[in-house]
Every structure is written in C-alpha cells, then in structure tokens.
Amino acid sequence: MELNRRTVIAGAAAAGVAATALGGTAYAAPGRGRPARTLFGRLADGTKVHSWALENGGTRMEVLSYGGIVRSLEIPDRRGRYTNVSLGFGTLEEYVASSPYFGALIGRYGNRIDKGRFTLDGTAYQLSVNDGENTLHGGAQGFDKRVWDVEPFTRGSDVGLHLYYTSVDGEMGYPGTLRTKVTYTLTRDGDWRVDYEATTDRATVVNLTSHVYWNLAGEGSGSIHDHELTVDASRYTPVDAGLIPTGELARVAATPFDFRRAKPVGRDIRTAHQQVLYGQGFDHNWVLDKGITARPEHVATLRDPSSGRTLRIATNEPGLQFYSGNFLDGTLVGTSGRVYRQGDGLCLETQHFPDSPNQPSFPSTVLRPGRTYRTTTVHSFGA
Ligand code: GLA
C-alpha cells in the first residue's frame, strides 16, 4: 500500500496525537500515553516502515523505524503555539531517495574517517567510501538507512522507544558484530533524552549520534541565521579541504568559532576565514570544555528570538559537531511543502571527534568485546 502524507497525518490524528503542524496549530493541553504506531510506508522489498507518535510534558514527536528518524518534533512557543522544529519529509520515498540525514540515527561512525581507512590492533580496514574519498556517517548504507526493531515503553512518568539494530561483522567494512540499542525517552518535563548502547564481539570503532536539523521558528520557515547559539568550548578541531581534522585543537578566541557567549549563527558566517570557507559555513567539531563526563552536562544552548523557543543540550560526550545546513541547496521540499535552502536548519551532533581512528591524540573510539559503549544526550526545550 502506498501511503501519502495525508494518510499519515490522518493516522497520527486517529491515534490521538497531533499531526505535523502546518504553520503553528493550537493544541489541547499536553498529554501522555502509550506510544502509538501507524504504517508509514514500505521499502522496495516490501519491508514495512512504521511511524511512532510519542507525547509527554508538552513535547510531541514522531519517529520512524527507518533510520530511527525523528520525522517531527513539536514544541510550543512563548504563547503556547506548537510547531514542528525538526526538518524532514512527508513520505518514506523521499527519505529513501536522498536525504541529508534528516533526523536520523548515525552509525557506526558519526562524521568522517579519512579515506575510509584505519588500523586497529595491527589490522588495516577499508570502509565503504561515500563522501569523495572519505567515509561519512558510517558509509553508503549507514544506520540512517536501516530498519530498526522498535519496542515502546512507559516507565514511571517517562514514555519512549527502544530501537535495536545489529550490524553484522564486516558491514560497511567495520570489524565485529555490533549490537546497538538506542533509547528515545520523553520525560515528564518534555525533555528528549537519547541513550546509546553498543557491544561488539571483535575490537571495533563506534561513534553514534543523531542528525536532527533544528529550526526553532518551525521547519520551512526560513533561515536559522538569527538563532543565537552558545557552545561551551574554547577549542575546535580545524579541518582540511575535505573536512578531515588536521589533528590540531585550535582556540576559538578571536575567530568566527567563538560561541562561548550567545551569538547569532549568521553573525560571522560570511567572514573570509579559511575554516569557514572549507565548511561553506560552520561544519566543525567543537571540543567541549567539560571533556568526557560520567553524566550528561550542559554544553550548548540554541534560542530563536522570534518565537522564544530554546533548546538546551547536555551530553557526556567530548565533542559537538555544529553544522549550519550548508549543503541544503533548494532542491528538497520539506514536511510542510516548503523548499529548504542553505541555512534553513542546523545540526548539533554530540559525538567523539571526527576521524578519531586515525588521530592518536583524540579521545579513543575503540570498543572491545566485554565492554559496553554508553553515551547520553538530553535535549531540553523551553520558551
Ligand atoms: C554532517 C557533516 C556535514 C554534512 C552533513 C550532512 O554534519 O559534517 O559535512 O555531511 O552531516 O549533509
């Protein structure tokens, strides 16, 4: 069965959950209930893809079993008007055809690995190469393109989904069978918490993240250049022309990369700094001052002055990839039928640093049998 967008919205509405807001709909008081499932579409081989609707503490989200994609995330503005603040598509076909990782889970390795090569315990590995001569976001068929097993839960005041995917030994060139579990939780305060876990049966490298494109004024509403961003980082990792880190941890002071105090994203984005030119804007990893922490700690705040909506991010990861939507080029039509142009959304990807398998001075991304990879990122919303 072919599902078009209207069917999907009707399905979500039938499940008692708000459909994607087209231009800031007013809603009834926030509720909480068991996550509701509807059929979103089918892949070419017939595999069903479901959409899961979740709601708690004033936050509503829709998650696909394909790629663990956050298809929409709705939060109120200062006057209680909801809108979808996450870029996405109306149909499964568009996600499959060509998506710049809208809302997706990223694995096995977030961001780039130089020439898709690394050596671990004396063995050289060649990964799937999908970004010029480099590997980006796991390779040609990364976790963003896999169908995850989804298990809903309600636990105390939380609601959420467990997402499971097992990546076989050698998939995309990575060693080891990687068993991955990602948990999306909406808390009673409306926070969206992401817990990543993975185990392996052979030494491997792992760096999982989430690739939501935020626009706190609403997806399809225009540029994020007025959004004010704060990142608690005194250093970042400069890159070469292929966006591979040089290995240096450069100071942000007196550069466009200084977001230690709230600054509009667009203020320095046209500065003729070599790193801004390489990224065609911001597309870099910030070295978080707090380093790796046992628990998630606050690292970044994003605020849209027009709506008053805020997003605060806490993580136990040491890095944050801030990508200012530079490759959006006006060729994709988003969820509410509006064209996405350069800078219409931005990503804040908590992570270990890009290309760590080839950078001995960066925190290690190696996972060994008997150990469990665990990271957490919490997104808190306000207005
Ligand atoms: C990441 C990368 C960018 C780009 C986007 C997706 O943020 O760093 O260079 O690949 O993903 O388009």
Q: Which atom of ligand 1 is nearest to the CA of 279?
A: 9
What pLDDT score was predicted for residue 3?
30
- Residue 31 tokens, joined: 């509720």
Q: Quick check: CB of 346 below 6 Å from ligand 1? A: no
Confidence band for 12, pLDDT divided at 50, 70 and 90: very low
Q: Which of 137, 211, 225, 379 is catalytic?
A: 211
Q: Quick check: CB of 111 below 6 Å from ligand 1? A: yes
Q: Which residue has the tokens 């150990």?
A: 371
Chain centroid to Cα 224, Å, comes to 16
What pLDDT score was predicted for residue 31?
67
Lowest mean pLDDT segment, chosen from 3-12, 28-37, 303-312? 3-12
Tell me the chain's radius of gyration from C-alpha atoms: 20
Degrees to nearest 5, angle at CA 214 with 210 and 218: 145
The type of residue at 117 is R
Q: With pLDDT > 90 as the criterion, what percentage of the chain qualifies? A: 91
- Residue 36 tokens, joined: 């509701």
CA distance linking residue 43 with residue 147, whole number of Å: 10
Q: Quick check: CB of 210 below 6 Å from ligand 1? A: no
Task: Report the separation in Å between the CA atom of 352 and the middle of ligand 1, taken as the mean of its atom positions.
Answer: 15
Q: Which atom of ligand 1 is nearest to the CA of 131?
A: 10
User: Do strands 178-186 and 158-167 pair parallel, antiparallel, or not at all (unpaired)?
Assistant: antiparallel
Ligand 1 pocket test target in 283, 284, 326, 348 with most atoms within 8 Å of CB: 283
CA distance linking residue 321 with residue 347, whole number of Å: 7
Ligand 1 pocket test target in 69, 109, 111, 213 with most atoms within 8 Å of CB: 111
CA distance linking residue 381 with residue 383, whole number of Å: 7
Average pLDDT, whole number, for the chain? 93
pTM of the predicted model as reported, rounded to 2 decimal places:
0.92
Degrees to nearest 5, angle at CA 148 with 72 and 92: 50
pLDDT at 110 over 70: yes
pLDDT at 100 over 50: yes
Task: Report the separation in Å between the CA atom of 323 and the middle of ligand 1, taken as the mean of its atom positions.
Answer: 6
pLDDT at 175 over 70: yes
- Residue 191 tokens, joined: 């926070």
- Residue 9 tokens, joined: 């919205």
Residue environment code for 45-84, b if the CB has 16+ CB neighbours within 10 A, otherwise e: eeeebbbbbbbbbbbbbbbbbbbbbbbbbbbbbeeebbbb
What pLDDT score was predicted for residue 34?
85
What pLDDT score was predicted for residue 33?
74
CA distance linking residue 75 with residue 56, whole number of Å: 11
- Burial of 130: CB neighbours in 10 Å, binned 0-12, 13-18, 19+: middle
- DSSP for 224-260 reads -TT-EEEE--SEEE-B-TTS-B-S--EE-TTSTT--S
- SS3 string, 303-345, reads ECCCCCCEEEEEECCCEEEEECCCCCCCCEECCCCCEECCCCC
How do residues 200-235 score in pLDDT, each as one tens digit?
A: 999 999 999 999 999 999 999 999 999 999 999 999
Q: Which of 55, 171, 349, 352 is catalytic?
A: 349
Ligand 1 pocket test target in 327, 342, 349 with most atoms within 8 Å of CB: 327
Q: Quick check: CB of 129 below 6 Å from ligand 1? A: no
Q: Quick check: CB of 381 below 6 Å from ligand 1? A: no
Q: Which atom of ligand 1 is nearest to the CA of 354?
A: 8
Is 349 an annotated catalytic residue? yes
